[in-house]
Amino acid sequence: MQLLARAFVGAGLLLLCVAGQAAADLVQPVNLQAREQEPNTFLVQWQVPKLYPVQAMPEPVLPESCRAKGERVLQEQPAAWLNRQVYRCPDGLAGQRIGIRYRLVNAGQTTVMRVDFLSGEQLVHLLAEGEMWWDVPEVDAGLTANLWPNLRRAVMQGVRHFFDAWMHIAFWLAVALVGGVRTSVRIATAFAAGQIVAVVLSAFLGWSLPVILAEGGVAIAAVLLASESLRPSGQRRQLRGIALVGGLLHGFGLGAMLPAPPSFEGVEWLYWVLAVVGMDATLLILALGTAWLGQLLADRWLGRVLSYAVGGTAVAAALVLVLSPPTVEAEPGLDTNRLPVSTGTGAGTAMPGSRRVAQQTSQAAVQSFLSVEAFEVRHEVLVRLKDVAEEVEIAATGRLGIEEQGNVKERLQAVAVPLATVTIDGNSAVPIVDRVDFLTVGTQGVLPRPEPVPEVIAEAFIGVTLVYLTPRTPEEVTLRWESFEGAMSEIPATVSDPEFSQTQTLTPEAPLLEWQNNLSEDPIPVVNAVAIEPLEIPVPFLALPLWIVSMVLFVSAMRGTQSSTRFALARVALAIGLVVAPTVEIAFALPSSLGAAPSTGEARRILAGVLPNVYRAFEFREESDAYDRLAVSVTGDTLSEIYLEHRRSLEMEERGGARAREETVEVPEVRQVSAAEEGGFIADAVWVVGGTVTHFGHRHFRQNRYDARVKLLPVDNTWKIHTIELFDEERIR
């Protein structure tokens, strides 16, 4: 009872802590990042705001196959806990489900989840309040680019599917009860043959049976085989016919039960055939291992009991399937020579368009917001006009006409600039006055007026944005507030960086706001050329002996020597070879294939490397730096035009000029690819650009979707964009 009471007290204290933080309206995200260090090995980092004590810190949820390596590291930061742990995930994270688990209570956190793959592809998702899982999208590098792992995956999917349903187990036991080795092998062969014929026809015809009918066919076959096992061995009939029909029904529904991954696009039938190979090998191994069961129990009362039990199990499994059918989630589904620029932000239904990173202090006369980014420190001063009316020489009541607003902004700028001084890495910094705007303060953040309107002085806010350019990410930044006169006796001040934020009140006794670089990674973007990879053929040395054995057994079976058993063993050896094929393989480069169009999967992988480079290049502030990095991924013919177009479009006018930080560029779809001159290719592709911008205490999220035709050419053994023809642009969030 004491232990239970302590648990309640602990939970109550945590709720009070969370409630207090919520009342302050300080909403920091939980950041979870999984970075692939080597194939299927991920460094997982999760950053948790300190409103959660260590004992109640949320934990990442990874696939069951993932295993921790080494010790977990916990690092304390000014406003957050940073956790690091290496995991080995044999099946990778692409196509898997990951999430976050709260031990006691969720304080309404947004969780930013990010997966970085060795291929260079980055996937980002935000879990809204109440959402606990994210199904990581497939990373489609094409079937041949990852040949043996893709084939093994299909075979293993068949193995897993066999053990997923009770009717499959009932079918195996029914096969074992019917007879010896030869009979069991013939039944399994007929079942596999029916499945292969059905999946090929299903792929060709473009339709499939519902899951209930497909699995129900297996259950009926199990019941019929179990009933035949009650007959004397010499009177059993139509065993292979029953198995063949059951295999046909099951095969026609396999496409609905096992959706083919993107890497098998266009050859979905191959994925299903390989899944059948996995199921067939599993059934054969189990049937051969239990073939003695039917002979041992022949004409015995125990055999009849087991036959009834197997039949009853199949019927029960079928009834459960009818009453609780499985659900299969559906897949989520202008000017030329110009790379689209994602500007603006919106609020989607699945994710809020912005979140607060500073405490809400709407009654304060003056507020200070310091944002530290890769190449700049931005100081934003939010002023309530009525509280500084005397300083800017206007009345504290009434309206301010449009024609008067320019002079008021100039006078406020003269007042605001000397209010604070900024020191960066020990050096006094000189500000650039970036903007002075009348603002709308609302739930979606602080927004500049799209058009000037007469302002009610008692309700008006003005924002002054000062920018301090830096050559790199600072190590330390200090803001010193210089004036505490009149309405500015206390100044709510917030400092934020890409990973966390903290708020404090500046007073004459404590006038400093300090920031130390405790970032888990440097936000300076990295631009790397995408090399043209030579065409390689992977040779699976460990699987070759198994396939040779399989071929010998198959030839022997064709000659009629113990044909059924040898044919069964040949299939088992083939399946085992496909499973172990990726374990030991050596890739041999083939002669250059320039001039041939890549597959859609390969083109998607190339674009996923080239397009992010272009967006990252424009995060550099110096024109020469941006231009040089843009040249890494864009040819000289269109380099200048794309550069000038982006320079004109980078500023987010509706967000007060704060520059967005592009966090991810994903390429979910490449519809078609055709060869181009000079060894290049043309791809019709869709990509999604996601980014954030921190502005006056709010962090705004944006996501734009682009549909375009992109032409890439090989230049100095790297891929570069030659032209872009934009078809469509859509604001997602």
In the chain, where the domains are located: 2-128, 144-331, 354-516, 600-731
Could you read off the pLDDT of 569-628 as tens digits, one per residue? 888 999 999 988 888 777 776 655 555 678 777 888 888 888 888 888 777 877 778 778
Q: Encoding tokens for residue 316? A: 């029960």
Q: What's the longest Cα–Cα distance across the chain?
A: 110
Q: How open is the CA angle 223-228-230, to the nearest 5 degrees?
A: 105
Strands 366-372 and 491-496: parallel
Backbone angles phi, psi at 552, to 5 degrees: -65, -45
pLDDT computed for residue 86 by the predictor? 93
**CA–CA separation, 633 vs 631, rounded Å?**
5
pLDDT computed for residue 647 by the predictor? 56
Are residues 706 and 690 in contact, defined by beta-carbon separation less than 8 angstroms? no
Tally DSSP H helices, then E strands, for the chain.
16, 29
> Rg of the chain's alpha carbons, rounded to an integer?
32
pLDDT computed for residue 275 by the predictor? 92
Residues paired with residue 686 on neighbouring β-strands, in sequence order:
669, 707
Strands 376-384 and 661-675: unpaired
Exposed/middle/buried for 641, CB within 10 Å: 0-12, 13-18, 19+? middle
Q: What is the DSSP letter of 620?
A: -
> Which fold is adopted by the domain 600-731?
Nuclear Transport Factor 2; Chain: A, (3.10.450)
Q: How open is the CA angle 218-196-565, to the nearest 5 degrees?
A: 85
Could you read off the pLDDT of 288-343 as tens digits, one per residue? 777 655 555 555 544 554 554 555 555 555 555 555 555 444 333 344 444 554 43
Backbone angles phi, psi at 667, to 5 degrees: -115, 90
* Alpha-carbon dihedral sign for residues 195, 198, 202, 203: positive
pTM of structure: 0.63
3-class secondary structure, 541 = coil
Sites in the chain below the pLDDT cut of 70? 1-28, 78-79, 104-109, 119-121, 128-130, 138-142, 144-145, 179, 229-236, 291-362, 442-445, 535, 560-562, 589-596, 637-661, 663, 733
Residue type, 25: D
Q: What is the dihedral of CA 276, 538, 42, 111, to 10 degrees?
A: -60
